[in-house]
Structure 1
Amino acid sequence: MTSMDPMAYVITDRGESGKVKGKSRSRSSRAGSKFPVGRIHRLLRQGNYAERIGAGAPVYLAAVIEYLTAEVLELAGNAARDSKKTRIIPRHCNWPSEMTKN
């Protein structure tokens, strides 16, 4: 192809392998997480926590945050149900910590 050929500048969605790429997936969906892995990675880089941040660190941190959130919500939901309420309010989040202080 010559430089004047209009087909020389056609942009395709093929990589170096020559195969057509599928629909792009977020790192959160690949990791199976509800929390944003990309945003956590950006915040880790901007926060001066380390000179370099590995690719697995934000995935692991997102999983830990998701697990802790699920635990707190489960305990708060149980506290709301015990008090015959259908909505969780901040007071329900305090009850489990008060119950475990025995």
Structure 2
Amino acid sequence: MLIFGYKIFSYSLFDDPNNPWKLAPSYNQIIDNNGNINSNPSMIQIPDKNTNMFMDIRTSLFAMYLFLAGDSSALSNWEYTENPSIAKLEKIIIESHI
């Protein structure tokens, strides 16, 4: 029973969506074809659903709205296509400040 309780606790503890290691962007180092690290190292960000907002018409309109409003504080880690109510609420808040 104790082991079962620990498994449930550890699953809920380690599956936290607000874990700072999951919220921060991660980067990979570019290596050449031989597997060697390049002498001029450069890092690329691993793409997620918010990396290129112009892949979907809804997020591209939202990105242009944010660009024209001059507010980049809204660019956070939540996916815009999965949370349309938050995007609409954010648009209302931005319009009320303009």
TM-score normalized by the length of structure 2: 0.25
Relative to its length, the structure with more helix (as a share) is: 1
Whichever of the two has the greater Rg, that structure is 1
TM-score normalized by the length of structure 1: 0.25
Relative to its length, the structure with more strand (as a share) is: 2
